[in-house]
A and B are shown apart, each in its own frame.
Chain A
Amino acid sequence: MIVTPELQQALLASIPALRASAVSLCGQPDQADDLVQQALVKAWDHMETFEPGTNMAAWLYTIMRNEFYTEFRKRRREVQDADGKYSGGMSAGPSQDHHMQVRDVQSALLRLRADQREALLLVGAWGMSYEEAAEVCRCAVGTMKSRVNRARGRLAELLTAPAPAPASQEQRVDAPLGQSG
């Protein structure tokens, strides 16, 4: 099927939403754009499955989600750095100078469980109904509601908890060992 200029425009217009969502899916900002790229190629090759008049970005998200759970994670494990750590920043782009609070939310989000983070993304950021979000994630509506609630609760917990002390001096390694029988 020919990908018309209109469809190409719609693809292009969906990229920012896809990138933001890819960060949420991966939980690792530095790999998000690779996932987006993979999803765009897949979408281009399967354009005939897109129903004209429906939400292109949402369609792309389901493709990207599927890519992530089938291919991307597998490949990522193969190529992942030995230390497996990831950079804390969402991107090294223009949003770097944003004030602390948004950065706090950002890092708290990355600490949520993936399914809860996704629920919050779809309902909170995309503005999907619980029903739509449940369909995308192939789960029951009640499950989606509960994920959103848990995500909110956990986020509130993370954001109000005292910051973890950086390498506390109270940590003693010279405590006597082997006292138990």
Chain B
Amino acid sequence: MPTQPSQTPGRGPNSPRRVKTPPGAGLDPELQAKIGRQLQELYRTMLEEPVPERFLRLLAELERKQENKG
């Protein structure tokens, strides 16, 4: 097998470098804070979504069954 250094075309010195981050250690606090905020925003958005009709129907149906039993 030839062991030439693999040449990646189109990668200049200014191309973004992939930073290998050891898990949980030495993370950029600013980046972490930013990701944290975005996570919170994502969850908040999801929590604000109205409850779909199917679940209202489901609960009504379960209640109806319960009343028929009792």
Contact = CB atoms under 8 A, between A and B. Distances in A.
A124 B36 contact: yes
Contacts of A94: 49
Contacts of A2: 66, 70
Contact of A3 (B22, B32, B46, B63): B63
Nearest to A145: B24
A20 B46 contact: yes
Interface residues of B, number: 42
Interface stretch (A60-68, A70-78, A98-106, A136-144): A98-106
Contact of B54 (A37, A90, A154, A156): A37
B35 A156 contact: yes
Contacts of A87: none
B16 interface: yes
A162 B42 contact: no
A94 B46 CA distance: 9
Nearest to B46: A20
Given A125-B40, A146-B24, A152-B27, A8 B46 contact: no
22 contacts: A3-B66, A8-B59, A12-B51, A15-B55, A33-B55, A40-B55, A40-B62, A41-B62, A90-B46, A95-B46, A124-B43, A125-B39, A146-B24, A149-B24, A152-B35, A153-B21, A156-B28, A156-B31, A157-B20, A157-B21, A162-B18, A180-B1
Interface of B: 1-2, 9-10, 15-16, 18-25, 27-28, 31-32, 35-36, 38-43, 45-49, 51-52, 54-56, 58-59, 62-63, 66, 70
B29 to A, nearest CB: 11
A94 B35 CA distance: 22
Given A124-B36, A125-B43, A3 B58 contact: no
A159 B36 CA distance: 12
Contacts of A104: 38
A161 B16 CA distance: 8
A49 interface: no
